[in-house]
Structure 1
Amino acid sequence: MPLEAIDIGFRYENGPWLWKGVQLTLSPGEIVGLTGPSGRGKTTFCRILAGLEKPTMGSVTVGGTVLPKKGYHPVQLVFQHPEKAVNPRWKMDKILNEGWNPNPELLESLGIKEEWLTRWPSELSGGELQRFCVARSLGPNTRFLLADEMTTMLDAITQAQIWKTVLEIAQKRQMGILIVSHEQNLLQKVCHRVVELK
């Protein structure tokens, strides 16, 4: 039951097309890299795949079915900037449990400290916040993960720690991953194939 983007096109109102007729298939257990020059709309494409943005043309399906508008979404998106993805009025335990209740083993593997759970987002660094966003995205119903420059802002050790955990979970669950990144070393190392958005 793959995630499929079928003839996707997007443009802002009265603006030029970012792209038209984009096709992408992401199969369960497959890791695909997505690259391309800045400004080509890679983040917008991810938002469309996750159901956060409506395409101007085309459709997105999972196993041939259009994605649900309510309930836990099977396609989860982790943004590059975590502060834009959390409610600043919620403490971290509430943010973390918004979609599901992660087990302590997962939190530990992502380097999330127990004392962080009672803090506000403003009390954590960007790297600490991003760990929560990754944990929140890995719920039991997640079938496809979209990692939009997910670890770009993190140091090399933290990047390796997070990717090790995510890739192990993906392999265990046969979860598909789309990795948006300019880091060719990462893409060549972990992806089955790499596509360019033109």
Structure 2
Amino acid sequence: MSTDLLQARDLTIRGEGVTIAPFSCSLGPGDRLTLLGETGSGKSLIAQAIMGTLPKGLCAQGRLVIDGEAFDAADSTSRRALWGRRLALLPQEPWHALDPTMRAVSQVAESHRHVAGRDRRAAFQAAWSDLTELGLAEAGSKLPGELSGGMAQRVAFAAASAGGAPIVIADEPTKGLDAPRRDAVVELLARTPEAAGALLTITHDIDVARRLGGEVVILRQGQVVERGPAQQVLTDPQSEYGQRLLAAEPSRWPLPKPLGERQAPVISASGLAKTRGGRELFRDLSLTIVPGEIVGVVGPSGCGKSTLGDMLLGVTRADNGEIDRAQGHTLGFQKLYQDPPAAFSPHWRLSRLLDDLVRRHRLDRAAIPPLMARLGLDENLLGRRPGEISGGELQRFAILRVLLLEPCFLFADEPTSRLDPITQRQTLELLVELARERHCGVMLVSHDPALIERICDKRISLEATPSVAKRELDPVMA
């Protein structure tokens, strides 16, 4: 009898223009498997097929063995009894997993109580312990809407892990996290195989795949193009696509071209200060952004990066300081959200959402097809709802939608956090190209200093505590 905890035999996914070729894997106690590949290659669909949560219109075929029990992949309802107890999914989108009306600690405690079987007091003690270990002690009493994207991701991680399932599927578990938080989550993920469990991870972060080790599978357009030990595949890939994937890591990008002649600013600020929850985020912060300029913002989760952008947009008020915006731009100040599901209605098809935008603001509908082509978006995706496409595809639709408004200033909050390295590079290069062409100033938030160095003209660094805060506006190569 096989000792494998998770087997997928000739798993195939089809429907609505999607074809995932037969995929097979076997994970025994202590095994780790990481799926890498381009956005929309089918990585998340494989996880959904195993869980039995494929979007409407897609169907799976093949055989699954989960913790010793055999299943027909086509029967999606048969595996629901395993959720949380024997098979756990750490979702890509925390907003789909968290109840917006429940405080963070209660959501984690609920899993400890109803899945792990602890009494109420023990469940809350375990929940507080989990949140503290993830650096979220102060977030336990907050609602999901009061958390940053990275903090919400860690809360969802804690809730999904509470049941102690021996098989864990982690879909982009480190998306939107700074390096220390990312490494902490990798260490937590590693506990499952270290405790004789099995771990299947989906990620765009090549460094995460390196740290997890085990076996790596590279997917492209639904096909496996390379697989093998992580050290081998991520050091000396044999496939042409694998080589391109590694070459697209931000640290290997060329340095940005100089901006050229500077014009009157689209936005400027002086002496900005903000305190949140009794903690000072920053003070005496000044900046100027001119047309076509890309200014990067780096710093750990919760340091105020998103808050700064919201202040510049007029969504959040500054405690002190002044902000001057260019006049005559009705729709000129726009935001690309860190979590696009929070910015799209889940009930309507993408074609309807774009049509509504065009009608409401009297935009040029003819601008949509060429922008979709430049962003690598298939027209067949227009017939789906936001929850029926990959996170990376939805992120690019968010970029498409905001560019249709032709902004003069764009606050881009982790706009490529869901994209594979190749697509990330292509998308950011396109964003910079369009910003230069359209004379749009961009403030770009990222947890990756290498990405900021290779894309931005200037950099603002925010630190976790005011005592060590380094608030600067310097050329990235300084």
In the alignment, which of 439, 455, 458 is matched to residue 190 of structure 1? 455
- Among 343, 348, 372, the residue aligned to 1:85: 343
State, as a whole percentage, how many aligned pairs show the same letter.
36
Residue 406 of structure 2: which of 141, 144, 152 is its match?
141
Residue 176 (structure 1) aligns with? 441
Number of positions where the alignment pairs a residue of Structure 1 with one of Structure 2: 192
Q: 2:348 aligns to what SS in structure 1?
A: coil
TM-score by length of 1: 0.86
1:37 paired with 2:297, answer no
What is the distance in 2 between the residues matched to 1:96 and 1:134?
A: 12
2:273 is matched with which residue? 9
Mark the runs of 5 or more structure 1 residues left unpaired by the alignment. Answer: none
Q: Letter of the 1:182 partner, please give it.
A: H
1:131 to 387, 391, 396: 396
1 or 2 for the larger relative contact order (CA 8 Å, sep ≥6)?
1
Quick check: 2:306–2:413 contact (8 Å CA) kept in 1? yes
- Conserved in 2, the CA contact under 8 Å of 1:31 and 1:190? yes
**Superposition deviation, residue 140 in structure 1:** 4.9
Offset at 1:40? Answer: 0.8
**Structure 2 CA distance for aligned equivalents of residues 59 and 120 of structure 1:** 40
Contact 1:96 1:132 in 2 (8 A): no
1:49-85 Cα distance to aligned partner (Å, 9 max, x none): 222222233333223x5x98xx52x122112211111
Cα 1:87–1:57 shift into 2, 3 Å: farther
Report what 2:384 is aligned to: 119
Q: In the alignment, which residue of structure 1 is the partner of 2:83? A: none
Which structure has greater helix proportion? 2
| Kept in 2: contact 1:10–1:20 (CA 8 A) | yes
Instruction: Name segments (4+ residues, structure 1) moved above 6 Å.
Output: none
Match of residue 19 from structure 1: 282
Against the structure 1 CA distance between its residues 57 and 87, is the aligned structure 2 distance closer, same or farther, given a 3 Å change threshold?
Answer: farther
What SS does the corresponding residue of 2:341 show, helix, strand or coil? helix
1:159 to 2:417 alignment: no
Match of 1:9, SS? Answer: strand
Aligned to 1:103, the other structure's residue is in SS state helix
Does the CA contact (< 8 Å) of 1:96 and 1:133 recur in 2? no
Distance 1:83 1:58 in 2: 32
TM-score (norm 2): 0.38
Helix, strand or coil for the counterpart of 1:138?
A: helix
2:443 alignment partner AA: L
Distance 1:96 1:180 in 2: 25
The gaps in structure 2 that reach 5 residues or longer are: 1-263, 463-468, 470-478
Contact 2:299-2:461 within 8 A present in 1 as well: yes
CA contact (8 A) 1:80 1:153 kept: no
Distance 2:394 2:273 in 1: 32
Q: CA deviation at 1:6?
A: 2.8
AA aligned opposite 2:440: M
Equivalent pair of 1:149/1:179 in contact (CA under 8 Å): yes
Report the CA distance between 1:31 and its aligned residue.
Answer: 1.3
**In 1, Cα distance between equivalents of 2:386 and 2:304:** 28
Matched residues in 2 for 1:53 and 1:87: separation?
A: 23
Question: Any idea what SS the aligned residue of 1:61 has?
Answer: strand
Cα offset for 1:119?
A: 1.4
Say if 2:411 and 2:442, in contact at 8 Å, map to a contact too: yes
Determine the C-alpha separation between the residues in 2 that align with 1:44 and 1:114: 35
Picking from 98, 101, 104, the partner of 2:369 is: 104
Is the contact made by 1:109 and 1:161 (CA closer than 8 Å) also made in structure 2? no
